[in-house]
Amino acid sequence: MRVLIVEDETRLADTVALGLRREGMAVDVAYDGLEGQERLMANAYDVVVLDRDLPGVHGDQICRELSSSKSPVRILILTASTGLEDKVEGLALGADDYLGKPFAFIELVARVRALARRLEARVGPKLQVDDIVLDPAAHQVHRAGRQVELTRKEFAVLEYLLVARGAVVSSEELLEHVWDDSADPFSGVVRVVMSRLRQKLGPPNVIQTITGVGYRIPDGR
């Protein structure tokens, strides 16, 4: 899951980003509305955590633009305005959820995960190809009944390949959705994680490498 935080309180933004990364998410940060707009145009995000009162470009404008563009990104508005009218106004802008400041970090994590699950709802609660079963809610993977222990990044890569339903996924696409801007695209990190994932899943190998294109797991249907 890739998340963008657009928040001008730098200490809060950095603290939230650090916490979400510890939860296994890829997180980018923008400290004003203009930078937020630029990142949203350049990258594909699953969830944006958006402050309303931003310098440069107001958060309300960013929210309206995302909503009118039919972007699939889910929007969680953060604001110091916690009244009912403010909440109604924020949701009317096209936001998917609304969280007032100050907030408990555990609640923020729960809301971000809930928004991401709405994107995954179309593929069902569990993902399965042949004898591989991935349960996003329980964060577990089984193969032929055997539980496979994966790191958060390995889990995210496998989940993305399964969601693709047999389509080829490029290294660039994996970097865009599973890693954040701190990842070096020339480091071979995708290849390394893919190698470890194949080893942990065991034989027979189900992850195909399409030379010069990317990776896929045949749907098996």
Give tens-digit pLDDT for 73-129. Answer: 899 998 876 665 666 676 777 888 888 888 889 899 888 888 877 655 544 568 888
- 221 lies in some domain: no
Q: Average pLDDT in the 36-55 region?
A: 90
166 within 8 A of 216, measured Cβ to Cβ: yes
Q: Is 0.85 surpassed by the pTM of this model? A: no
> Which ranges constitute the DSSP H helices of 31-147?
33-42, 59-68, 84-92, 105-120
**Token pair for 8:** 């001008």
- 156 lies in some domain: yes
Q: Are 6 and 101 members of one domain?
A: yes
d(CA 11, CA 17): 10
Under DSSP, is residue 187 helix (H, G, I), strand (E, B) or coil? coil
Residues spanned by the domain of 32: 2-121
Q: Are 135 and 203 members of one domain?
A: yes
Question: φ, ψ for residue 184 (rounded to 5)?
Answer: -85, 115
Q: Are 74 and 13 members of one domain?
A: yes
Q: Are 21 and 112 members of one domain?
A: yes
d(CA 118, CA 46): 10
Q: Are 175 and 88 members of one domain?
A: no
Q: Are 31 and 114 members of one domain?
A: yes
Q: Are 66 and 93 members of one domain?
A: yes
Q: CA angle, 201 as apex, 162 and 194 as ends, to 5°?
A: 65
Give me the pLDDT at residue 3, please: 92
157 within 8 A of 178, measured Cβ to Cβ: yes
User: What's the CATH code of the domain at 67?
Assistant: 3.40.50.2300
165 within 8 A of 175, measured Cβ to Cβ: no
Domain count, the chain: 2
- 202 lies in some domain: yes
Under DSSP, is residue 2 helix (H, G, I), strand (E, B) or coil? strand
Q: Are 142 and 71 members of one domain?
A: no
- List, for residues 1-17, the tens digit of each pLDDT value: 889 999 999 999 999 99
